[in-house]
Structure 1
Amino acid sequence: MIETRRATAADATELVRLRAVMLGAMAGQPVEPGPWQEHSRALLRRRLAEAGPTMAAYVVDGADGLAACAVGAIDERLGGPANPSGRTGYVYNVVTDEAYRRRGLSRACMTALLDWFAGRGVSAVDLRATADGEPLYRALGFAPVAHPTLRLITGR
């Protein structure tokens, strides 16, 4: 059995390192270091240390750092018939370091994160999937939604 644990603020640097691994895999090339890393570390340190947290990360430890993680947060939206509370989970970061892949670590982290969401009354969870990750998410019960996701980026 794979042992996961809830990440703490002390894991922020490793969580950001794994985020760069994930972003690099999505882009097909290494991600440039930059201010995004310190901002992400600060956000993780703050949010993972909150009492009554609305962000959690589940990790598997490796020999020299984190081997895998799944990070998610709870957003409060207006409720509706399918989700009366409006509490919606969003999964940000699911990644396994290359040396540890194909061992079920991402599945273990995702399962722990989904249990955390369920324990907080979250009945809807969203994520964006890569082609490599989609089979895992479908196996966990995720399905496409009827409406497209659109994004507006301003201020660049």
Structure 2
Amino acid sequence: MIRQAREEDIAALVQLRMALFCEVGELSDPLADRALWQATADYFSAAQRDGRAQSWLAQVDNTLVGCATLALFVRPPYPGNLAGKEGYLLNMYTLPAYRKRGIATALLANMASYARAQQLGKVWLHASAEGRPLYERMGFVAHPAYLEWCVPPSR
């Protein structure tokens, strides 16, 4: 079952996100960085409350096994998107024991329905090699027209 996340689901969203970070090698343990855990909980709470993000959860029996988040933003209008509304898909994760059951596909389909209903002009993401085929089946295409800069901290 796929459903929209509620305020009481914030801890589960954070837990799944930390599991994702562990899986991709960015954390050694889900509780390794307590400040990151708290900042993530604060983000999900505030973003859900003020509409900056929408999250979905996959539930099997009584266990939350997957998630997806769409961060929403508006930029100035541009050709093909007069409203300037866009979404960035992140936090797309399914626990390893529940993969290959269509859960990620269902999460992505729910996000896509929401994006259409909100009339977003574009949804973009950073895909893992494992996730890339799923997004390509949905119609996502690689876009070589932009560069990314990770801003270094001030000294």
| TM-score (norm: length of structure 1) | 0.88
Corresponding residue of 2:99: 101
2:123 matches 1:118: no
Corresponding residue of 1:36: 36
1:153 deviates by: 2.1
Where structure 2 has 5 or more consecutive residues not aligned to the other structure, the ranges are none
- Deviation sequence 1:58-110 (CA, Å, 0-9, x none): 11114564101111111111111122211111011100012211111111111
How far apart are the structure 1 equivalents of 2:122 and 2:15?
28
Which residue identity lines up with residue 136 of structure 1 in the other structure? L
Corresponding residue of 2:131: 133
- Deviation sequence 1:33-67 (CA, Å, 0-9, x none): 320111111221222233xx231111111456410
How far apart are the structure 2 equivalents of 1:65 and 1:153?
37
The answer to whether the 8 Å contact 1:8/1:49 transfers is no
Give the SS at the match of 2:90.
Answer: strand
1:28 deviates by: 7.2
Corresponding residue of 1:47: 47
The answer to whether the 8 Å contact 2:88/2:124 transfers is yes
The answer to whether the 8 Å contact 1:14/1:66 transfers is yes
Aligned length: 152
How far apart are the structure 1 equivalents of 2:20 and 2:139?
22
Corresponding residue of 1:4: 2
The answer to whether the 8 Å contact 2:18/2:27 transfers is no
**Residue number among 68, 73, 79 corresponding to 2:66 in the alignment:** 68
Corresponding residue of 1:86: 84
The answer to whether the 8 Å contact 1:9/1:46 transfers is no
| TM-score (norm: length of structure 2) | 0.89
Higher relative contact order (CA 8 A, sep 6+): 1
Corresponding residue of 1:146: 144
Which residue identity lines up with residue 46 of structure 2 in the other structure? R
Give the SS at the match of 1:27.
Answer: coil
Which residue identity lines up with residue 122 of structure 2 in the other structure? A
Q: Identity of counterpart residues, as a percentage?
A: 23
Which residue identity lines up with residue 41 of structure 1 in the other structure? A
How far apart are the structure 2 equivalents of 1:29 and 1:104?
27
